[in-house]
Amino acid sequence: MAGLKRRVPLHSLRYFISMVGLFSKPGLLPWYARNPPGWSQLFLGTVCKGDFTRVIATKCQKGQKSQKKPSHLGPLDGSWQERLADVVTPLWRLSYEEQLKPVINGYRNKSTFSVNRGPDGNPKTVGFYLGTWRDGNVVCVQSNHLKNIPEKHSQVAQYYEVFLRQSPLEPCLVFHEGGYWRELTVRTNSQGHTMAIITFHPQKLSQEELHVQKEIVKEFFIRGPGAACGLTSLYFQESTMTRCSHQQSPYQLLFGEPYIFEELLSLKIRISPDAFFQINTAGAEMLYRTVGELTGVNSDTILLDICCGTGVIGLSLAQHTSRVLGIELVEQAVEDARWTAAFNGITNSEFHTGQAEKILPGLLKSKEDGQSIVAVVNPARAGLHYKVIQAIRNFRAIHTLVFVSCKLHGESTRNVIELCCPPDPAKKLLGEPFVLQQAVPVDLFPHTPHCELVLLFTR
């Protein structure tokens, strides 16, 4: 585990600030920040007073040359491996001292590999995509050279490719054109345990024929060449859609342990195959510590954890607050959160499964007892549903909101504007606006231009 001091790309943050400022009252957004005593700088970006955009340009400027998009997709400007590295980890050519040191490699605890035609035309190539479907120039390039992918993930992907090239069944490249074998997901933890998930399009195979394929792939990874991967569990999911939840198409355990476990913030955490967990474990610990310090919760506070995943943020703060209320769409993640709470002896938490926009209004209404509520939101890239924003905005007991964004523009910008704009009856935004008090970038993605941004709002 090493420390990172990371700065947000200047163009992204300036756009974010300008958009929020456009729709805010004068003086509503005092762009200042203070550095709380005792904060570790591990994984933290610069937090400064005044216009903090001035000090976060360094990384963007240094990485600009490597981020230019080429006009073609042939390997004329370098090998296919270099081209893929330029897309997935565009800062790989820089030492991390140049990126803002030090280097951290192989930090991902989850990787999803696609199956498609490689540079040599072989349709049973396992890796990551270059190109676009719109332009019809998609190429799948092996990824074992990428700095952010652990060797274990690359090893499993390579053996899956070996398996596919032995299989008489074709891969499913385009759904309506047939084929069966699809993507591979690999999850690992800090103890070295490895879970693999194979997605398979059943087409018109009978249950008996499906059983045969499951036994063949199982045998390959238990006693065949794939045994070298040392998998602790192998899952198989039959999927006729791009993405299927466990409810839509159950994950079938072919062998091994049903879960993977991680140690984080003094908690033992259970993680199901499709549960969300931050892909950089060491970075996640600093991210969650940062969130916890910004919330300012105490024994009189209810902590509302929206889009809570496996519940780590709320459960890590449970001892400091009166109650934790979590909301999460993925049912398996909620079951993981409940298991984690029980295993760690946490009794003041409850977790609800479903869409936040449907659960939150009723949940808040049931808590109208004058108790102070601090909300934490950690949405996907699509941001929060507008009804969630309405519920947060219109519930007066929420005086502090910590917003964790993995995408600085797009829907997150709209969310922030609606949180901070003057009351607007037409949009049903009736409560007092929030004021953005602090922004802390946390680097979870070395060698890439991405980071998490933690925003503190109060009112």
Q: Which residues are annotated as a binding site for S-adenosyl-L-methionine?
A: 278, 328, 378
User: Which residues in 307-414 belong to E strands, given as ranges?
Assistant: 323-328, 349-353, 373-377, 398-405
Boundary residue ending a domain (228, 257, 286) = 257
pTM of the prediction?
0.77
Q: Which residues contact 93 (CB under 8 A, 6 or more apart)?
A: 66
CA dihedral of 9, 11, 12, 16, whole degrees rounded to 10: 130
Q: Range of 242's domain?
A: 108-257
Same domain, 112 and 177: yes
The H or E element containing residue 234 is: strand 233-238
Q: Give the closest residue to 448 by CA, choosing from 131, 15, 185, 148.
A: 148
Q: What are the beta bridge partners of residue 86? A: none
| CA 48/CA 32 separation, integer angstroms | 7
Name residues of the chain where pLDDT drops below 50: 1-12, 14-15, 19-72, 76, 103
| CA 231/CA 222 separation, integer angstroms | 8
Does a structural domain hold residue 68? no
Same domain, 252 and 300: no
In this prediction, residue 61 carries a pLDDT of 41
Same domain, 247 and 297: no
Does a structural domain hold residue 369? yes
In this prediction, residue 134 carries a pLDDT of 86
C-beta separation of 184 from 153 below 8 A: no
Same domain, 312 and 437: yes
| CA 281/CA 274 separation, integer angstroms | 17
Does a structural domain hold residue 325? yes
Same domain, 357 and 428: yes
In this prediction, residue 63 carries a pLDDT of 43
Of the residues 48, 60, 244, 406, which is catalytic? 406
C-beta separation of 268 from 261 below 8 A: yes
Q: How far is CA 296 from the centre of its chain?
A: 24
Residue 197, domain CATH: 2.40.50.1070
**Catalytic annotation on 308?**
no
Centre a 10 Å sphere on the Cβ of residue 24 and count the other Cβ atoms it contains: 19
Q: Three-state DSSP class for 419?
A: helix
Does a structural domain hold residue 438? yes
Q: What are the beta bridge partners of residue 130? A: 139
Pairing assessment for the beta strands 194-200 and 181-188 based on DSSP bridges: antiparallel
Q: Which residue bears the tokens 């709470």?
A: 341
Same domain, 115 and 211: yes
Does a structural domain hold residue 211? yes
Boundary residue ending a domain (190, 222, 257) = 257
Same domain, 183 and 325: no
In this prediction, residue 381 carries a pLDDT of 83
Q: Which residues are annotated as a binding site?
A: 278, 328, 378
What does the angle CA 253 – CA 254 – CA 256 come to, to the nearest 5 degrees?
80
Neighbour order of strands in the sheet with 194-200: 139-141, 125-130, 110-116, 181-188, 194-200, 233-238, 252-256
Same domain, 437 and 329: yes
| CA 158/CA 291 separation, integer angstroms | 38
Does a structural domain hold residue 329? yes
In this prediction, residue 100 carries a pLDDT of 58
Does a structural domain hold residue 123? yes
C-beta separation of 171 from 182 below 8 A: yes
Same domain, 214 and 301: no
C-beta separation of 98 from 60 below 8 A: no
Q: Which residues contact 230 (CB under 8 A, 6 or more apart)?
A: 194
C-beta separation of 365 from 393 below 8 A: no
In this prediction, residue 91 carries a pLDDT of 75
Cis peptide before 361 (omega within 30 of 0): no
| CA 148/CA 154 separation, integer angstroms | 11
| Number of domains the chain contains | 2
Residue 452, domain CATH: 3.40.50.150
Does a structural domain hold residue 354? yes
Boundary residue ending a domain (257, 290, 307) = 257
Same domain, 177 and 249: yes
Same domain, 178 and 318: no
Same domain, 241 and 387: no
